Amino acid sequence: MSTGKAPGPDGFPAEFLKHFWSMLAPLFFRVVTEIKNKGYVGGHMNTANIKLLLKPDKNPMLPSSYRPISLINTDLKIISKALTSRLEKVVQSIIHQDQTGFIKNRHSTDNVRRLFNVINMAQNSKKKKIILSLDAEKAFDRVNWSFLLTVLGKFGFGESFIQWISTLYNKPKASVTTNQITSQSFTLQRGTRQGCPLSPLLFAIFVEPLAAAVRQNSVIKGIHSSISEHKINLYADDILLYLEEPQSSLEEVFNLINSFSKLSDYSINWTKSSILPLTKNSWNPANQNPQHPSTTNTIKYLGLNISPNLNELIKLNHDPMLDKVTEDLRRWNNLPISLLGRIASVKMKILPKINYLFSMIPLKPPKQWFQRLDSATTKFYTRNKKPKISLSTLQKNKDEGGLEAPNFMHYYLANQILYLTEWLKPKEYYNTWLEIEQLDCKHIKLSDLPFITATLKHHNCFKNPLIASTLTAWWKALDITNVQLKISILSPIWHNPDFKNKKTPLYLKTWEESGITHLQDLFENDKIRPYNNLTQAFDINKSNFLQYLQVTETIKKNTPLDLTTLQPPELAIYMKKISTKSKKLSKIYRALSNTNCNYLPIAKWEAELSITPSTDFWTEICCNTFKMTKNTNLQLIQYKVLHRSHTTQQKMHKMGFLATDICSQCTQNTADSYLHALWLCSPVQHFWILITEKLSSILDCRIPLSPNLCLIGDLTMLQLPANQSQSILAALAIAKKTILLNWKDKKSLNINQWQNLLTEFISMEKMSALRKQKKITCFEERWTPFLIALNLNF
The mean pLDDT of the chain is 90
In a domain, 590, yes or no: no
Whether residues 776 and 683 share a domain: the answer is yes
Q: pLDDT at residue 559 above 90?
A: no
pLDDT at 284: 67
Strand pairing partners for 221? 244
User: CA-to-CA distance for 432 and 446, rounded, in angstroms?
Assistant: 13
Report the run of H or E that residue 177 belongs to, with start and end: strand 173-178
- Band (pLDDT 50/70/90 cuts) for residue 287 is low
Domain boundary among 379, 406, 433: 406
Confirm if 439 and 227 have CB atoms less than 8 A apart: yes
Whether residues 671 and 689 share a domain: the answer is yes
pTM equals 0.92
Which of 301, 210, 205 lies closest to 255 in space, CA to CA?
210
pLDDT at 523: 84
**516 φ/ψ sector (left φ>0, alpha ψ -120 to 50, else beta):** beta
Arithmetic mean of pLDDT, 300-319:
95
Dihedral sign for Cα 744, 745, 751, 752, please: negative
Whether residues 236 and 348 share a domain: the answer is no
- Band (pLDDT 50/70/90 cuts) for residue 285 is low
User: CA-to-CA distance for 759 and 756, rounded, in angstroms?
Assistant: 5
Q: pLDDT at residue 288 above 70?
A: no
Q: pLDDT at residue 664 above 80?
A: yes
pLDDT at 481: 87
Strand pairing partners for 671? 662
Whether residues 336 and 285 share a domain: the answer is no
Whether residues 31 and 160 share a domain: the answer is yes
Domain boundary among 306, 323, 343: 306
pLDDT at 468: 94
| Side-chain-side CA neighbours of residue 57 (13 Å) | 0
User: CA-to-CA distance for 276 and 298, rounded, in angstroms?
Assistant: 6
pLDDT at 673: 94
220 Cα distance to chain centroid: 38
Domain boundary among 406, 426, 458: 406
Whether residues 340 and 246 share a domain: the answer is no
Report the run of H or E that residue 175 belongs to, with start and end: strand 173-178
Confirm if 162 and 152 have CB atoms less than 8 A apart: yes
Q: pLDDT at residue 289 above 70?
A: no
Whether residues 51 and 84 share a domain: the answer is yes
In a domain, 649, yes or no: yes
Percent of the chain with pLDDT over 90: 61
Q: pLDDT at residue 292 above 80?
A: no
161-201 pLDDT per residue, tens: 999 999 999 999 999 988 888 889 898 899 998 889 999 99
Specify the higher pLDDT residue, 736 or 137.
736
106-149 pLDDT per residue, tens: 899 999 999 999 999 988 777 889 999 999 988 888 999 999 99
pLDDT at 223: 92
**2-6, 270-274, 494-498, 670-674, range with the lowest pLDDT:** 2-6
Specify the higher pLDDT residue, 195 or 205.
205
User: CA-to-CA distance for 726 and 458, rounded, in angstroms?
Assistant: 58
pLDDT at 205: 96
Whether residues 316 and 272 share a domain: the answer is no
492 Cα distance to chain centroid: 31
User: CA-to-CA distance for 338 and 328, rounded, in angstroms?
Assistant: 17
pLDDT at 42: 82
- Number of alpha helices (DSSP H) and beta strands (DSSP E) in the chain: 32, 18
Q: Where in the sequence is the domain holding 632, given as residue range(s)?
A: 602-789
- Band (pLDDT 50/70/90 cuts) for residue 793 is confident
- Strands 173-178, 181-182: pairing is antiparallel
Percent of the chain with pLDDT over 70: 97
In a domain, 725, yes or no: yes
Q: pLDDT at residue 233 above 70?
A: yes
Confirm if 618 and 716 have CB atoms less than 8 A apart: no
Q: pLDDT at residue 270 above 80?
A: yes
Size (the chain), residues = 794
3-state secondary structure 596-617: CCCCCCHHHHHHHHCCCCCCCH
Q: How many domains does the chain have?
A: 3
SS3 of residue 52 by DSSP: strand
Q: pLDDT at residue 671 above 90?
A: yes
DSSP string, 452-510: --S--TTSGGGGSHHHHHHHHHHHHHHHHTT------TTSBSTT-TTSEETTEE---HH
DSSP string, 562-585: -GGG-PPPHHHHHHHHHTTSSSHH
φ/ψ (deg, to 5) at 299: -125, 160
User: CA-to-CA distance for 345 and 337, rounded, in angstroms?
Assistant: 9
Which of 593, 592, 501, 582 lies closest to 546 in space, CA to CA?
501
Q: pLDDT at residue 27 above 80?
A: yes
pLDDT at 794: 65
Whether residues 137 and 277 share a domain: the answer is yes
Residue ranges of alpha helices (H) inside 39-107 are: 74-94
685 Cα distance to chain centroid: 48
Whether residues 263 and 370 share a domain: the answer is no
In a domain, 486, yes or no: no
Whether residues 117 and 129 share a domain: the answer is yes
SS3 of residue 57 by DSSP: coil
**90-94, 426-430, 478-482, range with the lowest pLDDT:** 426-430
In a domain, 756, yes or no: yes
Which of 332, 325, 333 lies closest to 385 in space, CA to CA?
333
Arithmetic mean of pLDDT, 561-583:
77
Specify the higher pLDDT residue, 87 or 5.
87
Q: pLDDT at residue 575 above 90?
A: no
In a domain, 521, yes or no: no
491-533 pLDDT per residue, tens: 999 999 999 888 889 999 999 989 999 999 988 877 788 888 8
In a domain, 538, yes or no: no
Whether residues 294 and 396 share a domain: the answer is no
User: CA-to-CA distance for 158 and 145, rounded, in angstroms?
Assistant: 17
Classify residue 514 as exposed, middle or buried by CB count within 10 Å of its CB (0-12, 13-18, 19+): middle
In a domain, 455, yes or no: no
